């Protein structure tokens, strides 16, 4: 099979869970013996994965450029995977025209409209309102796609109950992780607390601010010698202002190896107040044998029906109390750590989920989309408006270029 992955950015698994997710999909396709091409409008960074080293073809593409149509037609992919709803908006209609028989798959990464709704609820209070501006675009992209890969069981429930998305167009695919190697670093070998994540991700930036302002003072009073070590990629300049050595807060910058960094600390903190999907920082805590204290948002879709091992609290005082308990009680610490290993083995093993993904994709047929009437209707109308806008921009760009000659 010939697979085209259209990415918003180059995969950076050392920077974000989204990068890890994309690499998991690519690994599943390669393991199946399929040919993979990765195309993106983004520029590479020093942290981008060298995809060519793993036999993935790469292609730089541009928005509003009809050269993409000819290139895609020549590539003739069997499947096209869009890594976010935005890339489906930009290139889905072009794929439909150039490669009408290609099956189109949307990897939602997480449900953006849910994340935004929770952010607004945190700011304004009141009931959760999923019917926001992002939902108008994101849910349309889901309906237009032949299949959407969902990383969260909770989000599948939301899509079916709130937006009536048919189950046949949804596929649960969690984070795909290797069997964890039990850490040789034990309770007595470790000290201090750690937080880790990309600061480009709004929920992470809110979490670190909330932790420093409201959670850490509780912990610091109970454990005056402990420190809070903040690691984050793409940190804004204001993040360095969180450094407060007198109160045990240290800003460490990027963690080049998340698992090794976590292994140096006793407790991993994940105080997310909004967000969606599964959390890479929590999965890294599991895999590194670092007990993770989490809020309900951070724990969502990570443990399923399994016990977390310690209290999961949404308020600052309860969260801090749980963190201190895990930090100071060796038996509880070890119990939470072992539970993390068990959750990885029960819920996230790549060796189980990669074949499941391939099997689900191989069961798809172009003829199935005939019954997805809402998707057909949206493609007919919205893709037409998107196409005409893009065509207008193309024409304008050509006129500007001709005027400069």
* Chain centre to alpha carbon of residue 371: 30
Which residues on adjacent β-strands are paired with residue 194?
229, 268
Counting as low any pLDDT under 70, the low residues of the chain are 235-236, 382-396, 398, 400-405
pLDDT of residue 46: 86
pLDDT at 17: 80
Residue 161, classified by CB atoms within 10 Å of its CB into exposed (0-12), middle (13-18) or buried (19+), is exposed
Give this prediction's pTM.
Answer: 0.91
The alpha carbon torsion through 332, 333, 337, 342 (nearest 10 deg) reads: 0
Find where tokens 């939301």 sit.
Answer: 158
* Predicted local confidence at residue 377, as pLDDT: 87
What does the pLDDT read at residue 385?
A: 62
Task: Provide the 8-state DSSP code for 10.
Answer: -
Q: How far apart are CA 273 and CA 119, in angstroms?
A: 8
Per-residue pLDDT, 91: 95
Q: Are 311 and 318 in contact (CB under 8 A)?
A: yes
Ordered by where they begin, the domains of the chain are: 2-176+351-404 (3.40.50.2000), 187-348 (3.40.50.2000)
The pLDDT, as a whole number, for residue 387 is 64
The neighbouring-strand residues paired with 79 are: 3, 103
Distance between CA 111 and CA 141 in Å, rounded? Answer: 12
pLDDT for res 232: 84
For residue 369, CA distances in Å to 69, 102, 112 come to: 22, 11, 24
Do 79 and 101 meet the contact criterion of CB atoms below 8 Å apart? Answer: no
How far apart, in whole angstroms, are the C-alpha atoms of residue 78 and residue 172?
21
| 193 neighbors 266 (Cβ within 8 angstroms) | yes
Q: Is 128 exposed, middle or buried (0-12, 13-18, 19+ CB in 10 A)?
A: exposed
**β-strands 2-7, 35-40 pairing:** parallel
């Amino acid at each position: 099979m010939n697979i085209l992955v259209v990415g918003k950015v180059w995969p950076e698994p050392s920077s974000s869970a989204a990068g890890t997710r994309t690499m998991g999909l690519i690994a599943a396709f390669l393991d199946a013996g399929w040919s993979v091409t990765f195309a993106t409008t983004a520029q590479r960074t020093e942290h981008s994965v060298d995809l060519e080293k793993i036999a993935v073809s790469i292609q730089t593409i541009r928005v509003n450029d009809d050269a993409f149509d000819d290139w895609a037609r020549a590539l003739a992919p069997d499947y096209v995977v869009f890594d976010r709803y935005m890339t489906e908006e930009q290139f889905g209609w072009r794929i439909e025209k150039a490669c009408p028989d290609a099956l189109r798959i949307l990897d939602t990464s997480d449900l953006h409209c849910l994340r935004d709704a929770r952010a607004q609820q945190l700011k304004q209070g009141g009931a959760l309102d999923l019917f926001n501006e992002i939902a108008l675009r994101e849910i349309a992209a889901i309906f237009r796609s032949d299949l959407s890969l969902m990383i969260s069981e909770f989000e599948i429930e939301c899509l079916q109950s709130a937006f009536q998305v048919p189950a046949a167009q949804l596929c649960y695919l969690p984070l795909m992780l290797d069997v964890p190697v039990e850490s040789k670093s034990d309770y007595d070998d470790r000290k201090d607390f750690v937080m880790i994540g990309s600061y480009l991700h709004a929920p992470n930036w809110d979490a670190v601010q909330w932790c420093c302002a409201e959670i850490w003072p509780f912990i610091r009073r109970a454990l005056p010698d402990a420190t809070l070590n903040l690691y984050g990629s793409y940190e804004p300049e204001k993040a360095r202002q969180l450094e407060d050595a007198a109160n045990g807060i240290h800003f460490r910058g990027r963690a080049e190896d998340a698992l090794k960094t976590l292994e140096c600390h006793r407790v991993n903190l994940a105080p997310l107040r909004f967000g969606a999907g599964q959390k890479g920082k929590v999965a890294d805590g599991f895999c590194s044998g670092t007990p993770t204290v989490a809020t309900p948002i951070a724990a969502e879709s990570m443990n399923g029906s399994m016990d977390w091992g310690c209290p999961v609290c949404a308020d600052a005082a309860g969260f801090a109390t749980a963190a201190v308990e895990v930090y100071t009680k060796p038996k509880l610490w070890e119990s939470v750590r072992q539970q993390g290993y068990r959750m990885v083995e029960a819920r996230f093993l790549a060796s189980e989920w990669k074949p499941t993904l391939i099997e689900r994709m191989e069961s798809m047929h172009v003829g199935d989309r005939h019954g997805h009437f809402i998707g057909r209707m949206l493609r007919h109308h919205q893709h037409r408006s998107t196409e005409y806008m893009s065509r207008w921009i193309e024409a304008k760009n050509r006129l500007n270029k001709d005027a400069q000659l």
